[in-house]
Structure 1
Amino acid sequence: MKSSPKVTVIGLGPGEPSFCSAKNLTLIEEHEFRYVRTTRHPSSCLLGPDVVSFDYIYESSDSFEEVYRTIVIELIAEAKKNRKILYAVPGSPFLAEKTVQLLTEQTEVEVEVFPSLSFVDLAWSSLGIDPMEVGVRIVDAHR
């Protein structure tokens, strides 16, 4: 029986490769077809030399909205073709990742998301604060 098309989404963590979780490293190894939102991240090297980057979409698009929509369209097409693909994003897939939001909202392919540290986790640690205690609010500067 043929499996359903699936995109497995992972976060690469907030910087150097040591921040990528053991679970996400295992998922990288388990997937033949790997895609990354951008190679302009220190941990993108973990995905190997055959990773497909979407950097070219950033360079040829007029807006971030167009970039994100195009990436999602390509990921869905690749999942339908290859059945099982991995999509890696910088930081955490749950923080300021529009492509992940768009992927989880569509119904053409199955999506499973695996978390990772984000840059804000490191910020709270460095500052020694509990963001809930001090009432931190995060806003998107692009909106």
Structure 2
Amino acid sequence: MRAENRLRSREEFRRVFQRGVSVANREIVVYAWNRGDGGPWRAGFSVSKKVGGAVVRNKVKRRLREAVWGQGERLPTGWDLVVIARPGCDGASFEQLYRGVSDLVEKAARRGGHRGNRRSPAPRKGKSRSSKKG
């Protein structure tokens, strides 16, 4: 993937998680956020140790990268995607992953790529109210 199509920093990933929508199937979860700037699409990938050892994780990551890259023409401009592999996805064929990414990106695009006016609550500072004894 070209450098302009990669999400790199923790901040970029966090922004997609907070502002975007999530869609999932058995193998993967896709978070998608419409930046609205018309720039190139960007993608980031996450494969945890629950998926398998280093060899398995790298194989899954390569397959997911290729699945996203192969759909580059169809991906909407100005969107950020985070693709997360679920445990057990190492048994999925490339065709299943490719079709899954395609379907999930399309589903996220139909939902608009924004969470709407919902805002996540600010984290509380200090003691939680539920810990008080009455």
Q: Report the TM-score when normalising by structure 1.
A: 0.27
Higher helix share: 1
Q: Which has the larger radius of gyration?
A: 2
Greater relative contact order (Cα < 8 A, sep 6+): 1
